[in-house]
Amino acid sequence: MYLHIGEDILVKTDDVIAILDKKLLQASPIMSEFLEKKFDVTYHLAKNSVKSIVVTDKQVYYSPLASSTLKKRSLQPSLLIDDIDSL
């Protein structure tokens, strides 16, 4: 299954390690240090404000969508292309 995390980007749900609220950045120096080390594989999807951080096994995404929204989306069953064609 895939998760839409903003700006037409889909990631495999199996690759998602964590979906974090942006407030964690301000509260945790360890998280800030981790993200500094991952700078070369970080993608900013938010044109305005960042609401969440999606960590996968290969990339880190700054998403404009709230972590609660991403969680809800990850729990919903997705439609396959074949299912859409039959509608």
* 30-70 pLDDT, tens digit each: 888 888 899 899 898 988 889 999 999 999 999 999 999 99
54: tokens are 């999606």
Best CA proximity match to 67, nearest among 13, 23, 14: 23
Classify strands 16-21 and 52-56 as parallel, antiparallel or unpaired: antiparallel
Count each helix (H run) and each strand (E run) in the chain, helices first. 4, 6
Best CA proximity match to 18, nearest among 65, 51, 67: 67
- Is residue 84's pLDDT more than 50? no
Could you tell me the pTM of the whole model? 0.80
